[in-house]
Amino acid sequence: MRPYHAHRNRSVWLASMILSSWVFSGCQQSQDPNRIIIWHQMRVDERLVLADQLNQFMELHPGVTVEEIYKETEELRSGFIIAAIAGQGPDLVYGPSDQVGPFEVMEIIDPLETLFERDFLESFTPEALTYYKGHLYQIADKLGNHLTLIYNRHLLQEPPRTNLELMETGIGLTRDLDGDGKTDQYALTWNYTEPFFFIPFMTGYGGWVMDEEGAPTLNSPGTVNGLKFIQKLRDSLRIIPGEADYNIADILFKDGRSAMIINGDWSWAGYEKAGIDFGVAPLPQIRETGLWCAPMVSPKGYSLNANVPGEKRALVIELLRFLMRPDVQLQTARELWTMPTRRDAIESDFVQTNEILKNSAIQIRRGRTMPVVPELRAIWDAMRPAYQAVLGGASTPEEAARDMQELALRKIKEMNE
């Protein structure tokens, strides 16, 4: 009967589909004791250096393969959570230190201090080891992720050292070059609508995001005065653009339309690629308080997935030891201007004499460590709306500071219920 003909066609079809996809399918996730998988959020040039270093490791350890997979920061976070909760995931996860808090609470990463000797750990600069609730959860090979003042040497020879200097020179640097009434060149531009990029000014005026217990401290003169300063730059002095997000600021600087930009260590390579003759300087000092603008500084490093079987851990630790070798860290520093974390590497000639790294080190010293507690996320989410309301004119700095604090408290409560 005819319907069976249809039935036969369909089952042949399905069978061949299944067969072909099995033939082509890749292998399952890492149950292989000689295969290590790393998930990370490194940008391209960092990845290339890592790939090279992994190749070196694999040459030293024949029979072992190490694979690195890139995921964008947010993807990495949620992807790792989903995979690890389901008992899977990579062996090592690499990222900034603030992922430690949530991962620890969800019990998907394991402590590391028992896996290394004391001497080894002490050969690191202390900020590189992220402790949380008494245990070591992340070992970093890079320190930084900090905002710096980057200037175009073509337009500006000496970067300002204080906020007053910034305002003074800023006026001269903001120009309407073709006389059409629109500003063609700005003194400074940056992603000022994002709280992370506001932090240096908050700290410059004496504020900070939280106290030692992790409770928010957003309703402070630091917040209010920082906001007022930015408003002054934008509305009365007009030395920064009226509207700027990350991409706009980036393009203004790359096109030579802005003398300065405030951006992080991840961006320097991009400006080099764009052919800008740039210099890196520490952020200015706020005259009124005498404090230096302090950006958040964060180590970026490796955490161990709680699902990694015991037998495999020795190999994973071996890999970490390799990646943390001073010469390996120096290779990274040479290519990417990253700040290493082994004391030997930090004290090397290269790091001590390189122009960019010297300034970077000064900025790191003046910066503040980014908190790793999960509450920080709630604080960012609470800062953003009020902060943007001020910039949009819907709210005053005082009101915004109050609102931020209230919202932060509420969000933290909700998160921890």
Partner 1 sequence: MNQRSSRLFIAFLVLPAFLILLAVVFYPFVYNVVISFSNMNLRHIKDWAIIGPHQYVKVFFEPTQPNFYAVFLKTIIWTVVNLLFHVVLGVFLALLLNQKEVRGKPLFRTLLILPWAIPQYIVALTWRGMFNYEYGSINLIITKYLSLPAVEWLKSPTEAFLACILTNIWLGFPFMMVIALGALQSIPYELYEAADIDGASWWHKLTRITIPLIRPVMVPAITLGTVWTFNNLNIVWLVSNGGEPSDQTHILVSFVYKAAFNLYRYGYAAALSMVIFVILLLFSLYFMKRTRATEAAYQA
Partner 2 sequence: MSTKRILRQLLTYLFLLVFTAIAVYPILQVVTISLRPADRLLSTSLEIIPANATLDNYVGLFEDRPFLVWMWNSVFVSVVVTLTGVVLASTTGYAFSRFDFIGRKIGLLSLLTTQMFPATMLLLPLYIVLIRLGLINTYMGVIVIYAATALPFTIWTMKGYYDTIPYSLEEAARIDGCNQFQAFYKVILPLAAPALVITALFSFMTAWSEYLVAAQVLQDSKLWTLPLGLKSFEANMSTEWGLYGASSIIVTVPVVVLFLALSRYLVSGLTLGSVKG
Among 6, 105, 177, 415, binds partner 2 (CB under 8 A): 6
| Rounded least distance, CB 7 to partner 1, Å | 6
48 part of the interface to partner 1, by CB under 8 A: no
Number of residues in contact with partner 1, rule: CB under 8 A?
A: 38
Which CB atom, from 61 or from 384, has the smaller least distance to partner 1? 384
242 part of the interface to partner 2, by CB under 8 A: no
Contacts (CB under 8 A) with partner 2, residues 58-77: 67, 69-70, 72-75
381 part of the interface to partner 1, by CB under 8 A: yes
5 part of the interface to partner 2, by CB under 8 A: yes
114 part of the interface to partner 2, by CB under 8 A: no
Residue 218 one-letter amino acid: L
Q: Which does 122 bind (CB under 5 to 8 A by kind): partner 2, partner 1, none?
A: none
Among 50, 139, 378, 408, binds partner 1 (CB under 8 A): 378
Residue 8 one-letter amino acid: R
Q: Which does 243 bind (CB under 5 to 8 A by kind): partner 1, partner 2, none?
A: partner 1
Among 1, 117, 119, 236, binds partner 1 (CB under 8 A): 1
| Rounded least distance, CB 382 to partner 2, Å | 20
Among 88, 125, 183, 231, binds partner 2 (CB under 8 A): 88
Q: Which does 82 bind (CB under 5 to 8 A by kind): partner 1, partner 2, none?
A: partner 2
Q: Taking Cα atoms as reference points, which of 349, 334, 332, 326 lies closest to residue 125?
A: 326
| Rounded least distance, CB 69 to partner 2, Å | 6
Q: Which does 288 bind (CB under 5 to 8 A by kind): partner 1, partner 2, none?
A: none
243 part of the interface to partner 2, by CB under 8 A: no
Q: Which does 349 bind (CB under 5 to 8 A by kind): partner 2, partner 1, none?
A: none
Site string for partner 2, 305-344 (x = CB under 8 A): ----------------------------------------
What string of H, E and C letters represents the secondary structure of the chain?
CHHHHHHHHHHHHHHHHHHHHHHHCCCCCCCCCCEEEEEECCCHHHHHHHHHHHHHHHHHCCCCEEEEEECCHHHHHHHHHHHHHCCCCCCEEEEEHHHHHHHHHCCCEECCHHHCCHHHHHCECHHHEEEECCEEEEEEEEEECCEEEEEECCCCCCCCCEHHHHHHHHHHHCECCCCCCCCCEEEEEECCCCHHHCHHHHHHCCCCCECCCCCECCCCHHHHHHHHHHHHHHHHCCCCCCCCCHHHHHHHHHCCCEEEEEEEHHHHHHHHHCCCCEEEECCCEECCCCEECCCEEEEEEEEEECCCCHHHHHHHHHHHHHHCCHHHHHHHHHHHCCECCEHHHHCCHHHHHCHHHHHHHHHHHHCEECCCCCHHHHHHHHHHHHHHHHHCCCCCHHHHHHHHHHHHHHHHHHHCC
| Rounded least distance, CB 416 to partner 1, Å | 6
Q: Which residues bind partner 2 (CB under 8 A)?
A: 2-3, 5-6, 10, 13, 17-18, 20-22, 24-29, 41, 43-44, 67, 69-70, 72-75, 78-79, 82-83, 85-88, 246-248, 250-252, 254-255, 257, 264, 266-267, 270, 273-275
